Amino acid sequence: MSAPDEKARFNPRRACAWPPRPQRTDTVRLITVEELKSWIVHEDERLLVINKPGDVVCHPSKAGPWSSLVGATREYTGLPTMHLVFRLDRETSGVVVLAKDAVMASRLQTAMMNRRVGKAYLAILTGEMRGAMEVDQPLGDDLASPVFVKSAVCVGGKPAVTRFWPLAATAGFTLARVQTETGRKHQIRVHAHWLGFPLVGDKIYGPDDRLYLDFIDKGWNEALAARLLLPRQALHCAEIDLQAVGVVPVFTAPLAGDLQSFCLSHGLTG
């Protein structure tokens, strides 16, 4: 982004989050080769599909190749480039697809743009959702938030459609299956918040977006745990279906262990 664009987007109400805070060095998560191998869902000469934990960043970082999924898979395969076709936010667990060559990457990215890729998530929501719900609301930058990366439903935003199906709802929470028709930044999290069913553990779209700034500054602590209940947003990519572009089988990953434990302790069995 050029300097004029940065100034145009700057909002004094968000000054406390701009420029972005540096990454805390005490929270860098390094991946071991044994761990990476245990996360492999599928591998062939063109694809590598990983079941990513909820504490691993996808994109390369300054902390070395083993601090990110792309860097670690590049080291594991010995390839100069690994193409991240479908990424997940650091705190979102589940299926991630990487291509080993540019042709396959382009093919899958084109399929995604043409909405020929099926993706399904599991999410734990705050509140009891009693029936299927669809959100068709545009998304853009939340200029009123102190968190620079935050999105919001807004007039003039990019089209976004998300569908929620409750699998279990009790004790003030819902385990839901979620599908997206579009792929906007933080789409599921924003739409869940807009519906009044924010994700458990969501530091930005949960009870107070300033909790995210507290976490960046101080790390996870008891005060945050009392407000958020989980140290990450309760979102898991459970399924990616590429059959429409000739890739089989459907890639799946069971709900991550920490989210399973939360469901069991709160009576959520879907």
pLDDT tens, residue order, the chain (270 aa) = 333 343 334 444 443 444 444 444 456 889 999 999 999 999 999 999 999 999 999 988 888 999 999 999 999 999 999 999 988 989 999 999 999 999 999 999 999 888 899 999 999 999 999 999 999 999 999 999 999 999 999 999 999 999 999 999 999 999 999 999 988 999 999 999 999 999 999 999 999 999 999 999 999 999 999 999 999 999 999 999 999 889 988 999 999 999 999 999 999 986
- Alpha helices by DSSP H, listed for the chain, are 3-9, 33-38, 69-77, 102-113, 187-195, 210-218, 222-228, 257-265
Two tokens, residue 183: 């792929």
The residues near 48 (Cβ < 8 Å, ≥ 6 apart) are 40, 42, 73, 77, 82, 97, 98, 99, 100
- Please check whether residue 88 lies inside any domain of the structure: yes
Give CA–CA dist 13/120, Å, rounded: 35
Domain presence at residue 270: no
| Inside any domain, residue 16 | yes
As a whole number of angstroms, the distance between CA 188 and CA 180 comes to 8
* Predicted TM-score (pTM) of this structure: 0.89
CATH of the domain at 205: 3.30.2350.10
Q: Which residues are catalytic?
A: 89
The answer as to whether 190 is a domain residue is yes
Count of the separate structural domains present in the chain: 1
Residue type, 83: H
Q: Is residue 202 part of a domain?
A: yes
Contact 49, 96 (CB under 8 A): yes
Q: Is residue 222 part of a domain?
A: yes
User: What are the φ/ψ torsions at residue 106 (nearest 5 degrees)?
Assistant: -65, -40
- Is residue 106 a part of any domain in this protein? yes
Residue 212 lies in a domain: yes
Closest C-alpha among 207, 181, 212 to residue 89:
212
Dihedral through CA 232, CA 92, CA 2, CA 159, nearest 10?
-110
Which residue range(s) make up the domain with 150?
A: 3-265
